[in-house]
Structure 1
């Protein structure tokens, strides 16, 4: 793991004085992460779940963490009418009744998302138990999408030894994006990269072709997406279509794409589909020894972070810190 980039993210997050809500407090990894966040004064926390049951189970397992965190559990009846009204007003055009909104908020994921949407928390971290789909389905009705964006996607921050961190997208949410979706993914990924690394994003739109070396409907999709990005964000450094070697290795870029503004120096890599993205990040982990932080959800109006169900408590800490920076 590139300890330095993770340390920097945690250090910057600790200066923001934010509050993060955890809907899955019954998970012992969440409790351990929450304890660390409080102990290190990184952020304030809100825990969702049955306080007495969670404390009892935690004590039976001989830890006692939940008891120490007992004051951080949220009374689910607190401001209930306001939360129900928020969700109802946002979804009544979809035919939801006020009673149905109230029922939705019995789900900790919806409650956590709505606490963020109404300003009672600055970010939400979930997914150690729930699936990515469940997390997103709670986030969109409650929080909604960022203005100008129509796509929820995800990135992985890839920390490698002896070189700056890279961003890969989309590796976990949108299986086969069209050109508009691919453009949204790239724009949001550039924003995420800059927020987390404080470096200027240089975005490579990846394909099996470089600058017309192959003609196919899949390469045309990448070219179209690149043109959409340039229209929406003319100041963003982006180019495509590029093969990975032309995007990453300056010597190869000189031969394949000598006029590219980012070729050979890209730090944000946008894959044409989830197959390529997911395979690439796992190969980079296993063969290059990279540490992957993510999936980092992006495209929402407020931060709601997803976790891998195989995550460690340290991963949960990192997700909370990312949520803090994305909400700052």
Structure 2
């Protein structure tokens, strides 16, 4: 019997992508033009930038910005968790109160809220504690009780709580209801179930938008300059209003914001990686691991997809 002829070897021709090369050339040309403009245009005044980058006023404003960001986010996260639990409560009074709070603080600009807190003394010259509709046991001047920093913190933190409430509520609702039902069947209270069962699993959904909110809060602190609190942006404003060197001072402020947001982005990545341990068999590589693999000539392995409850990828079953 005659043997069939062996087929000829396939001559594989790689697909050409001229569009990619053209796009890369355009980007390189634009990058070269940008670098040329940055270093050849004397209006940028890089010597002034270097002079004020570590100026004491700038560093003081940077400290105030970091304090505001940390405290406002702490207030927002704690308040958001409380509001989310209230919103999901079967009690209509609690859920209704949480809904009205979220509706009001998300519906009005944070800049307006900051100005209202700063001028609260115009509505109530003094704040007091005592019997409702009765005598007061303690009273204090409103402007003394709520200085500029506290007004800024209240404006940012209470507004953030409304947004965090929706983020936390979405994370809680992403957890299967059977988890809570099983914990109730084991005798756990609603509070214990929320703290030990639901919230730890909801963190994988809550963390990414919370990181984005933190970065956004860092930049939103610049709005407190309207109530004369000297944070990073206000410190730059105070300097260029004296020296009339506006552009280099704005670059100083922008570079500090870029550095801080970059650090927060790295921190967010590692926090997300930490909470991904329960859903992925192999954690995604860290930036250092990616760089090491690049120099060693080894491709970075992609993260393994999460394993479903059935025990296999893609939701099949073992039977």
Q: Is the pair's TM-score, using the shorter chain for normalization, greater than 0.5?
A: no
- Greater fraction helix: 2
For this structure pair, what is the TM-score category when the shorter chain's length is used for normalisation?
Answer: under 0.3
**TM-score (ref. length: structure 2):** 0.22
**Structure with higher strand content:** 1
> Which protein, 1 or 2, shows the higher relative CO under an 8 Å CA cutoff with sep ≥ 6?
1
Higher gyration radius (CA): 2
